[in-house]
Chain A
Amino acid sequence: MDITKLTIADLQKTFKEGALTSVEVTRAYLDAIEKKDGEVNAYLSVTKELALEQAKAADERIKAGQAGPLTGVPMAVKDAILVQGQTCTAASKMLERYTAPYDATVIKRLKEAGAVILGKTDLDEFAMGGSGENSAFGPSKNPIDTSRVAGGSSSGSAAAVAAEEACYALGSETGGSIRLPSSFTGIVGLKTTYGAVSRNGLIAFGSSLDQIGPMGKTVADVETVFAAISGKDPMDATSAEYTYQKETVPLNGLRIGVPKEYFVEGIDPEVEKVVREAIKKAQDQGATIVEINLPSVEFALACYYVIAPAEASANLARYDGIRYGLSVPSKDLLDGYLKTKGQGFGKEVKRRIMIGTYVLSSGYYDAYYKKAQEVRQLIVEDFQKAFSEVDVIFSPVSPITAPKIGEKAADPLAMYLMDVYTVSANLAGIPALSLPCGKANGMPVGLHIVGKPFAEATILSVASQMEAMLQ
């Protein structure tokens, strides 16, 4: 049996039957990593000892009949999420030798569930990017076509799952960083409602936008992980009183909104064709397709690229070489800041810090930051209006499939445009999922399923039914 093809649900069953042990499955994944990761480059660090230790402990639990759905299942963690005692680099020279002093809350919860952590995956530096190419340690490749990007910023997490180097992975989103790489590599990725999952232990980029989320082979797997990691955390003041409860929401009678603004010039016609075919399948099952308007989409990208860098400029100010991270020897305090940040941060990170500093600076704050916050509210209102008419929204995740490595790297604005459909959900704080729905030009295409705040159960149920039809 091809061990690395098994889903979480498969493994749960197999462990219970005693046909496989967690140690066997973990070794299979470690072997896969050794064989393939030289090319794929999904992992920045492989935590072999930790994984085997956890697998052994999981096998004890399984034998004692005390296993949960995630016990013994090997997974990968985006290297912006702290795992105690392991390096956490954020794919930056700034944190190249930083060791995490504590576990992120999501890691604590997964450890309690008996998870097996295979390693830390590559990302765009400080989660800033849409392709994975901004990593200070080389980009992850798209396992479907290694001349192409995996998407970002959760590039390594997507590549690891798609290449069968992990059964599932944790990624994070600020502007589409789970959904875009999921779409590009053909896996399932969920961006949760802001507040549904604790941000404690996630290296901060844009605090009003950041969310950790699951990435996996199937909707059911992603649902299982979401149930385990979500819920209130006293360590994260922005986390919500929320408990996941599964729901069945039949396609028959469902109102699906399709935003007319998303299907305009710029979208790859092959991508549009695949997505429209998926929407038609839903219609054939009895769903009502409603064309909706989201006029604020026009401004969403500009709004995001004002707010996110502004928050990043504040969040990255802490990397000054004093308490942790890179510290360049210097003659005085200011010199230390300048040199440490100059040498520690990559090009895109510097660019975003500069944008953020500019839009918050005296004389420009009203025109940019204050205006962007108003536009953010406009986006919230657009979605509120839409969700009074429909239950979920379907669209492409991205106007394109995975570009070649280097194709977008020269033009930052072209790179930002890949996020045009995803950022609205982050700005509005609403949940959204990417479901593989076919291929265009040989590369995976993701169907974007967006829901109301805290409607993950609806999205997952709809996605599960779509998944069954799209097999």
Chain B
Amino acid sequence: MISKEEVLHIAKLARLDLTEQEVADMQRDLSSILDYFDLLKKAPKPKHAAEARQTNVLRADEAHSNDIADDLINASPLQKDGYIQVKQVL
């Protein structure tokens, strides 16, 4: 059974606020799901390493204007002078 401390540690990494009840529920749910994952230990190794699914796809370094900059800024709850406002980081 995953410990309460471990749940709180993961929640902190995920920046998730959990209520007491949610922590207890998460302990129970995560434990049964993680137990199910033990199944993967039985799996053999694949014959080959996975092929790279993607090669890098790059575009030319050209600026394009598409008029949605204002819409993007306006979606933010806190704005000032055309900038998105954030709380102090450092």
Contact = CB atoms under 8 A, between A and B. Distances in A.
Interface of A: 98-99, 101-102, 208, 234, 237-238, 296, 298-299, 301-303, 305-306, 313, 317, 320-324, 327, 330, 332-334, 336-339, 341-343, 345, 347, 350-351, 353-355, 357-359, 361, 368, 371-378, 380-381, 412-413, 429
B62 interface: no
Contacts of B22: 347, 350
A413 B43 contact: no
Contact of B77 (A238, A313, A327): A327
A339 B17 CA distance: 6
B75 A342 contact: no
How many B residues are at the interface, by size bracket? 35 or more
Chain A CB within 10 Å, residue with most, of B11, B46, B76 = B46
A342 to B, nearest CB: 3
Chain B, interface SS category: loop
10 contacts: A298-B42, A323-B72, A323-B84, A342-B16, A345-B16, A354-B14, A358-B30, A368-B40, A373-B50, A412-B32
Contact of A298 (B19, B39, B66, B68): B39
Given A101-B72, A336-B87, A381 B46 contact: yes
Given A101-B68, A320-B15, 18 more contacts: A234-B59, A237-B57, A299-B43, A302-B36, A305-B33, A313-B14, A321-B77, A322-B78, A324-B76, A333-B88, A351-B26, A354-B7, A357-B10, A361-B13, A371-B43, A374-B45, A374-B46, A378-B46
Contacts of A375: 40, 43, 46
Nearest to A298: B39
A354 B10 CA distance: 6
Contacts of A327: 77-78
A334 B87 CA distance: 9
B14 A357 contact: yes
Interface string B39-59: 111111111111001100101
Contact of B17 (A302, A338, A351): A338
Contacts of A380: 46, 50
Interface string B66-90: 1010011001111000001011110
A84 to B, nearest CB: 9
B16 to A, nearest CB: 5
Given A354-B10, A373-B50, A412 B40 contact: no
B18 interface: yes
Contact of B68 (A102, A299, A324): A102
A301 B10 CA distance: 23
Given A101-B75, A338-B15, A333 B50 contact: no
Nearest to A356: B14
A316 B30 CA distance: 19
Contacts of A376: 50
Nearest to B12: A338
